[in-house]
């Protein structure tokens, strides 16, 4: 839905034709904030912005204050924008004021209602222009990285550097924007390449979470163990987050193994993996869907259903242990997990 919302948003800003009410929801807070900012910037004359932009939390409003907020006319501008955060928490009497307003909205006002987190209110959605922003899939995250560097800093970033940044930081657009700001400053107008990403973030190609996943797929315990301490030192990387990514990978490969066991050819499996990732919206992968599908398709034949099942049980046990700090450090628990997964017998050997 994010692509459709982005197209709608672009049309709103380009045509400067504003509706009385918008309902912005979804799980990607960065895109939601950007949408509010873009609509407000396009709708309000800069000279009158201080008088014509109101941002209020619904929890802070009673019926009277909301009525005043919505009935105030624009000053020094053709249009006024009211941003109402988390309208679902309005009390009954205050919600009645909002409902009456939506029946007959003020002609010079655009009300932007922003749902919190993954919440949605069907009644408000149906009476407004809906804009839904979900987390971006990996391919669009890479595009965001290049776009943000170019539009915000007039900087360029190589595809390899963008992939490396994504593999380390993940798909959180707030975090990515912060890191891109640092990288652009460090590059001082030059192109951002892998070396600069390594210098600023402290990780090199071959040391990312995506590389760690590949090492486990190949049962390369020595390589995986050699990355652990560096992985855990990366921003927002924890033992639990690593286990969650590995669980996604293992479950996907178990699904692929079942396809092979039912007669699917190995050559068809990569396409099937891409379809699975796209349909399921598995966004906790630190690599593109295509890159993940290629590795899994290559390796699935070497994993038996039983070995994948043992790996899933090892992942569950590691998750429990990581959430109980009495057992060991994250690195010790993950090291044990690596050895358990890599010790699983291959389907060819089992045969």
Could you tell me which residues are beta bridge partners of residue 81?
Answer: 53, 110
Q: Which domains does the chain have, with CATH numbers?
A: 2-132 (3.40.50.300), 138-201 (1.10.8.60), 209-350 (1.20.272.10)
pLDDT at 323: 87
Distance separating alpha carbons of residues 225 and 343, to the nearest angstrom: 13
Residue-level pLDDT at 133: 93
How much is the pLDDT for 284? 63
Using CB atoms within 10 A of its CB, is residue 246 exposed (0-12), middle (13-18) or buried (19+)? Answer: buried
**What is the predicted pLDDT for the residue at 141?**
92
Provide the residue-wise pLDDT of the chain in tens; the chain has 351 residues.
567 888 899 999 999 999 999 999 998 999 999 999 999 999 998 888 999 999 999 999 999 999 999 999 999 889 999 999 999 999 999 999 999 999 999 999 999 999 998 788 999 999 999 999 988 888 899 999 999 999 999 999 999 999 889 888 888 899 899 999 999 999 998 999 999 998 888 777 677 888 999 999 999 999 999 999 988 887 778 999 999 999 999 999 999 999 999 999 988 999 999 888 877 665 567 777 888 899 999 999 999 999 999 999 999 999 999 988 676 899 999 999 999 999 875 544 444
Residues facing 54 on adjacent strands: 82
**pTM (global) more than 0.75:** no
């Amino acid at each position: 839905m994010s692509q459709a919302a982005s197209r709608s948003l672009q049309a709103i800003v380009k045509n400067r034709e504003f509706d009385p009410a918008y309902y912005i929801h979804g799980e990607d807070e960065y895109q939601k904030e950007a949408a509010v900012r873009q609509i407000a910037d396009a709708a309000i004359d800069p000279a009158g912005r201080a008088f014509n932009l109101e941002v209020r939390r619904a929890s802070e409003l009673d019926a009277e204050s909301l009525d005043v907020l919505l009935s105030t006319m624009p000053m020094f501008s053709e249009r006024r924008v009211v941003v109402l955060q988390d309208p679902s928490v309005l009390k009954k009497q205050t919600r009645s004021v909002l409902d009456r307003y939506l029946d007959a909205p003020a002609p010079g006002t655009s009300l932007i209602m922003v749902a919190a987190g993954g919440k949605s209110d069907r009644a408000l959605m149906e009476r407004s222009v809906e804009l839904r922003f979900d987390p971006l899939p990996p391919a669009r995250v890479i595009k965001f990285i290049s776009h943000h560097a170019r539009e915000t800093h007039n900087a360029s970033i190589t595809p390899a550097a963008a992939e490396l940044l994504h593999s380390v930081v993940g798909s959180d657009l707030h975090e990515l924007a912060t890191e891109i700001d640092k990288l652009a400053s460090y590059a001082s107008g030059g192109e951002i390449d892998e070396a600069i990403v390594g210098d600023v973030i402290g990780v090199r190609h071959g040391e990312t979470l995506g590389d760690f996943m590949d090492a486990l797929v190949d049962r390369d315990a020595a390589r995986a163990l050699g990355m652990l301490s560096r992985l855990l030192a990366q921003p927002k990387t924890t033992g639990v987050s690593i286990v969650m990514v590995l669980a996604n990978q293992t479950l996907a490969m178990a699904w692929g193994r079942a396809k092979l066991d039912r007669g699917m050819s190995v050559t068809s499996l990569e396409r099937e993996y891409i379809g699975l990732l796209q349909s399921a919206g598995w966004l906790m992968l630190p690599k593109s869907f295509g890159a993940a599908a290629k590795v899994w398709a290559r390796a699935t034949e070497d994993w038996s259903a039983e070995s994948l099942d043992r790996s899933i049980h090892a992942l569950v046990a590691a998750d429990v242990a990581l959430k109980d700090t009495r057992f060991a450090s994250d690195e010790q628990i993950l090291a044990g997990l690596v050895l358990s997964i890599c010790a699983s017998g291959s389907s060819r050997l089992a045969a």
